């Protein structure tokens, strides 16, 4: 069963300027898909198209969750300046009418070892701690689809390990996860599939094994395959 289907012919920030084109992929239940690409390739724009935050989208994005609920963790945490961490969590729980939100919140706070921060203002916290708070808020409604932008930047090794464990638990529950990242060595180990973007176009959506075959790089790393595909023209010329 799919959690997300993206079928976008073109999309962008203004009518005349398309930033991404021909993006077609799916995220299945319990699947972790890595959205990979160089700076400016169009990863964040693709995520904005999924979230309905782009003014111009030609195509269709379907979120197949029972209640249409999804969790989103942006690359840069966004908070209300005057609300404490707990007040943010409360706001999310009450506004989204999440049953038992308080209990769930306490569990998540314990999991993320964030007890000491809950009465502080998020802006006074470190970037990694802010990211943990964003994750708690994203997970509070028990979403069946999770979209995470650059989750590993700013997390210390223990927090990274914790996030990886949480990703595993979510996948076991059937949550589909789309993760945008530059940390290819980690992505390579944990993602089921990779959507590779270059210049706003998706040039492949494959497992690492299929990428290795496509690139004729048996046992090659994700970075090797990515490099090969990006420079394919140059490589082909050398063949």
Ligand X SMILES: Nc1ncnc2c1ncn2[C@@H]1O[C@H](COP(=O)(O)OP(=O)(O)OP(=O)(O)O)[C@@H](O)[C@H]1O
- Summarize as ranges the residues that interact with ligand X (CB under 6 A): 13, 19, 37, 39-45
Instruction: Please compute, for residue 18, the number of CA atoms within 13 A of its CA located in the half-sphere on the CB side.
Output: 13
Nearest approach, Cβ of 67 to ligand X (angstroms)? 28
Query: Tokens 């589909």 identify what position?
Result: 176
Q: Closest CB to ligand X among 150 and 170?
A: 150
Q: Closest CB to ligand X among 47 and 136?
A: 47
Note whether 29 and 144 are within 8 A (CB).
Answer: yes
Nearest approach, Cβ of 20 to ligand X (angstroms)? 7
Q: At how many degrees (to 10) do helices 127-139 and 85-95 cross?
A: 20
Q: Closest CB to ligand X among 45 and 131?
A: 45
Q: Closest CB to ligand X among 43 and 171?
A: 43
Tokens at 103, concatenated: 């209990």
Nearest approach, Cβ of 118 to ligand X (angstroms)? 30
Note whether 59 and 10 are within 8 A (CB).
Answer: yes
Nearest approach, Cβ of 129 to ligand X (angstroms)? 22
The Cα 100–Cα 106 span in angstroms is: 10
Q: Closest CB to ligand X among 18 and 130?
A: 18
Q: Closest CB to ligand X among 84 and 199?
A: 199
Alpha-carbon distance values, 78 to 20, 124, 144, 217 (Å): 25, 13, 22, 41
Beta strands 20-28 and 145-149 are unpaired
Nearest approach, Cβ of 26 to ligand X (angstroms)? 20
Torsional sign, CA 160, 168, 117, 113: negative
The Cα 182–Cα 144 span in angstroms is: 24
Nearest approach, Cβ of 100 to ligand X (angstroms)? 36
């Amino acid at each position: 069963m799919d959690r997300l289907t993206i079928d976008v012919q073109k999309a962008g920030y203004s009518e005349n300027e398309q930033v991404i084109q021909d993006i077609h992929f799916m995220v299945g239940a319990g699947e972790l898909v890595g959205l990979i690409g160089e700076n400016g390739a169009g990863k964040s724009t693709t995520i904005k198209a999924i979230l309905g935050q782009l003014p111009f989208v030609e195509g269709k994005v379907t979120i197949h969750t029972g209640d249409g609920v999804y969790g989103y963790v942006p690359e840069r945490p966004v908070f209300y300046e005057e609300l404490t961490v707990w007040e943010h969590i409360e706001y999310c729980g009450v506004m989204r009418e999440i049953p038992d939100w308080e209990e769930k919140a306490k569990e998540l706070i314990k999991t993320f070892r964030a007890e000491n921060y809950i009465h502080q203002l998020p802006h006074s916290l470190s970037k990694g701690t802010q990211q943990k708070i964003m994750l708690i808020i994203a997970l509070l409604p028990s979403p069946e689809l999770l979209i995470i932008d650059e989750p590993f930047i700013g997390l210390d090794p223990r927090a990274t390990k914790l996030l990886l464990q949480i990703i595993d638990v979510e996948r076991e529950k059937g949550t589909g996860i789309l993760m945008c990242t530059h940390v290819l060595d980690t992505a390579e180990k944990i993602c089921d599939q990779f959507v590779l973007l270059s210049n706003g176009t998706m040039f492949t959506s494959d497992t690492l094994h299929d990428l290795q075959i496509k690139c004729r790089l048996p046992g090659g790393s994700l970075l090797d395959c990515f490099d090969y595909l990006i420079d394919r023209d140059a490589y082909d010329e050398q063949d």
